[in-house]
């Protein structure tokens, strides 16, 4: 006779220990619910997406992490700045007056350290964490995630049941891929190559931690420039997939060096720098999963959707979706209604905010559009654009920006 292992029962199982999963798990555990985080990798882990935007501070404050962030070595980020293909530098978009916690800044983070801090905080709030553990939906249960099988790196398989399953598996999008719910955005099929440098040039004063976005010649690609601790700078290059890998067999290093030769402003900043990480490449296909919830399950973070990295929205949207989902899940567990409608009640509001990011991303990639020229013609929108850049994307009235972008002259 085969003896089956006992079933461990949790109110909530969260698949994925990144910012979205750790945020949702921590807030739900703080409410007194039994929560399990299952992470297939070790924690900490290497991850791109080092730049926070100020609205992330609100979630970090709710998690009780602001003091920990202030005590960290992460550089303070007071602004974002854009440099054109000709090397002309825009005035920085400073966050003063747009950052609701009163700090006036946010942070540039080392994602392995930041993610570990979030998971440790979720554990402090009462969540159970299992890392280096694979999760499997038993055969024949596609569409239902209430009973799962876990396999740690050592030990026998474990059966787990839950009332609510939260998919925070990032771009692997467990539920979206399993149920065929993932839809790519045809306008945003990009690729990125990135690495880290030590000793690159930094600006002075409060501009030392600024995110800088640099266009390459002919605007075929753009670079991010993100200062990190220990005199490290993260530098990545993004462009259309068919352009970035136009030769088919080009290596990540060859692509990065090719585009670097087309961006003199970045060459100047890297003139005395030493590369300290290998070149890495990824496809940045923007996508959405629809629907984003079902009976007993909900998606958050990149598992729910991803948009282009140009405005550093990824970590913020992960944190915010984790927070918004946690509030809905808590209410659902209290009332006993874990239907798709109640678990996903936060998603229309969230989707509207994401759409504001998306529309600004479309404008960025429109080669006939110029932000400086637009703000000269419509100076009343400078505050609204800054609102989007800092993450205040849920404000009413931002749609007026995109109405005027549509009618703005292209030359």
Q: What is the CATH classification number for the domain harbouring 329? A: 3.50.50.60
Give the pLDDT confidence score for residue 349 in this predicted structure: 97
Give residue 202's domain range: 190-283
Contact between residue 149 and residue 8 where contact means Cβ atoms under 8 Å apart: no
Is residue 89, in this structure, part of any structural domain at all?
no
Q: Are 239 and 316 in a shared domain?
A: no
Is residue 146, in this structure, part of any structural domain at all?
yes
DSSP 185-212: -TT--EEEEEEEEES-----GGGGG-EE
Structure tokens at 51: 């730049």
Q: Are 55 and 124 in a shared domain?
A: yes
Q: Are 176 and 296 in a shared domain?
A: yes
Q: Are 32 and 166 in a shared domain?
A: yes
Q: Are 303 and 334 in a shared domain?
A: yes
Residue 236: exposure state from Cβ atoms within 10 A (0-12, 13-18, ≥19): buried
Going residue by residue through the chain (411 aa), what tens digit of pLDDT does each one get? Answer: 344 567 899 999 999 999 999 999 999 999 999 999 999 988 777 778 899 999 999 999 999 999 999 999 999 999 999 999 999 998 888 998 899 999 999 999 999 999 999 999 999 999 999 999 999 987 656 568 999 999 988 888 999 999 999 999 999 999 999 899 999 999 999 999 999 999 999 999 999 999 999 999 999 999 999 999 999 999 999 999 999 998 766 899 999 999 999 999 999 999 999 999 999 999 888 999 999 999 999 999 999 999 999 999 999 999 999 999 999 999 999 999 999 999 999 999 999 999 999 999 999 999 888 888 899 999 999 999 999 999 999 999 999 999 999 998 765
Q: Are 139 and 175 in a shared domain?
A: yes
Is residue 96, in this structure, part of any structural domain at all?
no
Q: Are 322 and 220 in a shared domain?
A: no
Contact between residue 401 and residue 375 where contact means Cβ atoms under 8 Å apart: no
Q: Are 278 and 382 in a shared domain?
A: no
Q: Are 142 and 278 in a shared domain?
A: no
Is residue 100, in this structure, part of any structural domain at all?
no
Q: Which of 263, 283, 303 is the last residue of a domain?
A: 283
Is residue 339, in this structure, part of any structural domain at all?
yes
Q: Which of 283, 299, 323 is the last residue of a domain?
A: 283
Give the pLDDT confidence score for residue 91 in this predicted structure: 86
Is residue 196, in this structure, part of any structural domain at all?
yes
Give the pLDDT confidence score for residue 409 in this predicted structure: 77
> Which residues, 6+ apart, have CB-to-CB distance to 388 below 8 Å?
311, 356, 357, 360, 398, 401
In angstroms, rounded to a whole number, what is the distance separating the alpha carbons of residues 58 and 149? 35
**Strand ranges, E, within 65-146:** 76-77, 79-83, 93-94, 106-107, 128-130, 133-136
> Which residues, 6+ apart, have CB-to-CB distance to 406 below 8 Å?
none
Give the pLDDT confidence score for residue 48 in this predicted structure: 85
Q: Are 345 and 394 in a shared domain?
A: no
Give the pLDDT confidence score for residue 143 in this predicted structure: 66
What CATH code is carried by the domain that includes residue 239? 3.30.9.100
Is residue 358, in this structure, part of any structural domain at all?
no
Give the pLDDT confidence score for residue 2 in this predicted structure: 44
Q: Are 219 and 276 in a shared domain?
A: yes
For the chain, what is the radius of gyration of the CA atoms? Answer: 22
- Provide the whole-model pTM: 0.95
Give the pLDDT confidence score for residue 153 in this predicted structure: 83
In angstroms, rounded to a whole number, what is the distance separating the alpha carbons of residues 410 and 90? 19
Q: Which of 261, 283, 305 is the last residue of a domain?
A: 283
Is residue 239, in this structure, part of any structural domain at all?
yes
In angstroms, rounded to a whole number, what is the distance separating the alpha carbons of residues 236 and 309? 10
Give the total number of structural domains in the chain.
Answer: 3
Q: Are 163 and 121 in a shared domain?
A: yes
């Amino acid at each position: 006779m085969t003896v089956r292992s006992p079933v461990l029962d949790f109110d909530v199982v969260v698949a994925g220990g990144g910012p979205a999963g750790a945020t949702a798990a921590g807030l739900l555990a703080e409410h007194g619910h039994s929560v399990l985080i299952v992470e297939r990798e070790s924690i900490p882990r290497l991850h791109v997406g080092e730049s926070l935007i100020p609205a992330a501070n609100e979630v970090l404050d709710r998690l009780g992490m602001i003091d920990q962030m202030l005590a960290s070595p992460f550089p303070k980020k007071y602004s974002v700045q854009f440099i054109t293909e000709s090397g002309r530098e825009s005035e920085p978009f400073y966050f003063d007056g747009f950052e609701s916690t009163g700090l006036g800044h946010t942070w540039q983070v080392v994602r392995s350290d930041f993610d570990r801090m979030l998971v440790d905080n979720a554990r402090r709030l009462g969540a159970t964490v299992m890392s280096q553990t694979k999760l499997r939906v038993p055969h024949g249960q596609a569409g239902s995630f209430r009973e799962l099988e876990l396999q740690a790196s050592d030990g026998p398989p474990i059966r787990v049941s839950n009332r609510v399953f939260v998919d925070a598996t990032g771009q692997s999008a467990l539920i979206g891929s399993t149920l065929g719910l993932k839809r790519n955005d045809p306008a945003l099929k990009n690729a990125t190559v990135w690495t880290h440098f030590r000793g690159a040039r930094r600006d002075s004063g409060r501009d030392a931690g600024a995110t800088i976005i640099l266009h390459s010649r002919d605007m075929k690609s753009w670079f991010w420039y993100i200062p990190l601790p220990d005199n490290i700078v993260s530098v990545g290059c993004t462009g259309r997939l068919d352009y970035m890998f136009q030769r088919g067999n080009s290596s990540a290093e060859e692509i990065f060096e090719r585009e670097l030769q087309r961006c003199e402003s970045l060459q100047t900043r890297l003139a005395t720098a030493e590369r300290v990480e290998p070149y890495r490449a990824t496809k940045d296909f923007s996508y959405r999963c629809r629907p984003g919830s079902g009976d007993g399950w909900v998606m958050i973070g990149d598992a729910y959707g991803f948009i282009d990295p140009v405005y550093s929205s990824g970590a913020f949207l992960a944190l915010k979706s984790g927070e918004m989902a946690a509030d809905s899940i808590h209410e659902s567990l209290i009332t006993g209604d874990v239907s798709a409608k109640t678990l996903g009640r936060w998603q229309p509001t969230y989707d509207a905010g994401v759409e504001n990011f998306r529309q600004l991303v479309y404008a960025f990639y429109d080669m006939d559009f110029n932000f400086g020229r637009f703000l000269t013609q419509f100076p009343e929108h400078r505050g609204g654009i800054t609102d989007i850049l800092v993450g205040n994307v849920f404000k009413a009235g931002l749609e007026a920006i995109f109405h005027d972008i549509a009618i703005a002259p292209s030359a």
